[in-house]
DNA sequence: CAAATACCGGACAAAAATGTCCGGTAATAA
DNA sequence: TTATTACCGGACATTTTTGTCCGGTATTTG
């Protein structure tokens, strides 16, 4: 479904968001990698990209780390993260790999697949990091194991 | 979503099925690759695997090629093909890559993601190759362009 | 039987994804 | 100011996926 990079990116964002929302605390790479069970250096690469796209904020030096501003917590969606890392293909590409997904020249799965893909779009579009971080805070969801 | 191998595999199977159902005609690799716009040698590899799993039948020598028996047309589903090529992960794996998808230890997307994944399961489980080949026959669906 | 055909199987090659390392830079704190 | 901290950026390494090649084998036709 998603690439490893994307999985790590989402999990990292939710963890950063949870720490920012609950404690106003910045988190370092080592901390993140440990809490979401991901390779540290690779996760760094993924987060660097998200910082460039301003989906997350980073601060260098002692007491530095990653954080999500209240605005980012409220506005950054799963869709933005997925598109930033994996590109828009999963949101609009053909299930069977045809170069164009269209109702004019549909693949045999098109009309059955479309509603499913649309629901995925809706899921990604309507869920913010702040919302998902809340579940982790409440002990209703987990980021590893 | 699916790997390239899986996309080629499904498209090839539908084309083979359409030719078997409509004309009782075996099709060769060159023909298949041209009709579904896929790399010939790579498609061969994918089909070899499906032959081993008896999802499609192959015959060597002149007049040989690939075909689907009436039974295969009726019973082989998208799910069987996807699992044979990509494995069961897309049908049961966690959206965020947790080693186990479970409601006991759910990731933050679990309860929203589950119904979508279930619908995909249902789509793959309930559609046979014969059924999809029929759409191509009727000009309602296409395997390239 | 002999020749031609077409899938089979394994080795090989290229590209992409995943993962690591290390020096550079900016920020903090003593 | 100086030392320390922690992200940044690029190069490098490994693994997986994608794709190619070629001789072998089975089958058909003459
Ligand atoms: S054309 Fe294949 S999903 Fe739309
Ligand atoms: S635990 Fe992640 S989808 Fe079920």
Task: Please write the tens of the pLDDT for every residue from A2-47.
Answer: 999 999 999 999 999 999 999 999 999 999 999 999 999 999 999 9
**pLDDT tens track for B131-142:** 999 999 999 999
**Encoded tokens for B58:** 């192959």
Q: How far is B14 from chain A (nearest CA, A)?
A: 9
Residue B143 resides in a domain:
no
Element (H, E) at B59: strand B57-59
Letter string b/e over residues A57-93, b meaning 16 or more CB atoms within 10 A of that residue's CB: bbeeeeeebbbbeeebbeebbbbbbbbbbbeeebbeb
Query: Residue B11: which of A108, A61, A145 has the closest Cα?
Result: A108
* CA dist., res. A23 & res. A28, Å (int): 14
Interchain proximity B142–A105, CB inside 8 Å:
yes
Straight-line distance from CA A42 to C1' C18, in Å?
8
Average pLDDT, chain B: 98
**pLDDT tens track for B3-44:** 999 999 999 999 999 999 999 999 999 999 999 999 999 999
What was the pLDDT predicted at A17?
98
Residue B144 resides in a domain:
no
* CA dist., res. A128 & res. B66, Å (int): 49
Name the residue range of residue A42's domain.
Answer: 4-137
Residue B25 resides in a domain:
yes
φ and ψ at residue B85, rounded to 5 degrees: -95, -50
B97, B107, B145: residue with CB nearest A105:
B145
What was the pLDDT predicted at B131?
98
Residue B41 in contact with partner chain A when CB distance is under 8 A: no
What was the pLDDT predicted at A96?
98
Query: ∠ CA B113-B115-B116 to the nearest 5 degrees?
Result: 65
Straight-line distance from CA A42 to C1' D12, in Å?
14
CATH assignment at residue A84? 1.10.10.10
Residue B108 resides in a domain:
yes
Which DSSP symbol is given to A62?
T
For residue B115, how far is its CA from the centre of ligand 2 (angstroms)?
A: 11
Residue A145 resides in a domain:
no
Number of domains in chain A: 1
Does ligand 1 lie within 6 Å of residue A93's CB atom? Answer: no
Straight-line distance from CA A54 to C1' C23, in Å?
25
Q: Where are the beta strands (DSSP E) in chain A?
A: 57-59, 65-67
Tell me the C-alpha to C-alpha distance, in Å, between residue B145 and each of A26, B35, B141.
49, 10, 11
- Which of A9, A43, A108, A137 is best to mutate for the B interface (most B CBs within 10 A)? A108
Residue B33 resides in a domain:
yes
């Amino acid at each position: 479904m998603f690439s490893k990079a994307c999985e790590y990116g989402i999990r990292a964002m939710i963890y950063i968001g949870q720490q920012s929302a609950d404690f106003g605390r910045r988190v370092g790479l080592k901390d993140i990698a440990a809490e979401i069970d991901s390779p540290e250096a690779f996760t760094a690469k993924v987060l660097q990209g998200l910082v460039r796209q301003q989906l997350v904020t980073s601060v260098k030096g002692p007491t530095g780390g990653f954080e999500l501003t209240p605005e980012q917590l409220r506005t950054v969606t799963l869709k933005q993260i997925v598109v930033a890392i994996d590109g828009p293909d999963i949101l609009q590409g053909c299930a069977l790999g045809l170069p164009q997904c269209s109702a004019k020249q549909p693949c045999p799965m098109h009309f059955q697949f479309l509603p499913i893909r649309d629901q995925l779009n809706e899921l990604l579009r309507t869920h913010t990091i702040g919302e998902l971080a809340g579940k982790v805070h409440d002990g209703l969801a987990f980021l590893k194991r």
